[in-house]
Amino acid sequence: MSDGATLQIVLLGPPGAGKGTQAALLVRKLGIPHVSTGEILRGEITRGTERGDQARVFMEQGRLVPDELVLDLVRGRLASSDCEQGFLLDGFPRSTIQAEELCRMIAGRTKRFMAASIVVSDEEIVRRLAGRRTCTSCGAIFHLEFEPPRQPDACDKCGGALVQREDDREEVIQRRLRIYRRDTEPLLDYYRAKNRLLEVGGQASVEAVQSQLLAGLGLRS
């Protein structure tokens, strides 16, 4: 779909709202890169880099990684040539400082910018995160009940091992939710005030949420 060529999309929503699931579908349709700060940080950890070592302790505890570290990674990623014609940010920005820095990073090259927020209840979030399984090879996301893989421990797409994320333990989920409400939710007002906010109901099926996003972003489904 060519409509994606100039799009800059930010996906907002609490942990487990379905940002990664929807992002994977959207970027396939729109042909723009998927920039997930969670995935970038987990990649740094897997590769054993200094940044990964710094981020690990925050992530395992469900806390936000310091802004300077994340901003450095995002700045580098958005400067890549594949982001020139648009991108989808998943999990960034997560604080007002990050939102303001993003605004500076894309100043002068903004074409069509929208922040889409996926709204889901806390009860549903706990169910989703408790049943989530992620592929260690290709990053594909499954849910034991809602999007079950054919085999419980192997990825349907690449055969890689499916694991439960360290931060999907009940006590960590509760902390991530509290931090989302305190630090990230204020961004809804931030983007609403700029007339750049789209809110979609995230409790529906994956396909129904995708349709709402495409329609709200003014794209064909």
Work out how close the CB of 41 gets to ligand AP5 at its nearest, in angstroms, rounded to a whole number: 5
Element (H, E) at 134: strand 132-135
DSSP string, 74-99: HHHHHTSGGGTT-EEEES---SHHHH
Q: Tell me whether residue 182 is one of the annotated catalytic residues.
A: no
Element (H, E) at 216: helix 206-216
User: Beta-carbon neighbour count of residue 18 at 10 Å?
Assistant: 27
Determine which one of 51, 77, 128, 132 is catalytic.
Answer: 132
Closest alpha carbon to 13 in 5, 21, 24, 25: 21
Is 142 or 191 the residue whose CB approaches ligand AP5 more closely?
Answer: 142
Determine which one of 165, 175, 192, 196 is catalytic.
Answer: 165
Work out how close the CB of 2 gets to ligand AP5 at its nearest, in angstroms, rounded to a whole number: 26
Enter the DSSP assignment of 183.
I
Name the closest residue to ligand AP5 (Cβ).
38
Work out how close the CB of 106 gets to ligand AP5 at its nearest, in angstroms, rounded to a whole number: 15
User: What is the length of the chain?
Assistant: 221
Dig out the tokens for 18 from the structure. Answer: 């379905």
Is 65 or 115 the residue whose CB approaches ligand AP5 more closely?
Answer: 65
Is 57 or 195 the residue whose CB approaches ligand AP5 more closely?
Answer: 57
Distance CA 23, CA 202 (A): 13
Determine which one of 42, 51, 133, 176 is catalytic.
Answer: 176
Is 70 or 78 the residue whose CB approaches ligand AP5 more closely?
Answer: 70
Distance CA 24, CA 155 (A): 15
Work out how close the CB of 180 gets to ligand AP5 at its nearest, in angstroms, rounded to a whole number: 7
Is 5 or 169 the residue whose CB approaches ligand AP5 more closely?
Answer: 169
Work out how close the CB of 4 gets to ligand AP5 at its nearest, in angstroms, rounded to a whole number: 19
Determine which one of 42, 77, 94, 128 is catalytic.
Answer: 94
Q: Tell me whether residue 176 is one of the annotated catalytic residues.
A: yes
Q: Tell me whether residue 19 is one of the annotated catalytic residues.
A: yes
For 30, residues 6+ apart whose C-beta sits below 8 A from its C-beta are 1, 3, 4, 7, 86, 88, 219
Residues forming contacts to ligand AP5 in the complex (CB under 6 A) are 13, 15-21, 37-38, 41, 58-59, 62-65, 70, 91-92, 94, 98, 128, 131-132, 141-143, 146-147, 167, 176, 205-206, 209
Element (H, E) at 70: helix 67-78
Residues with active-site annotation? 19, 94, 132, 165, 176
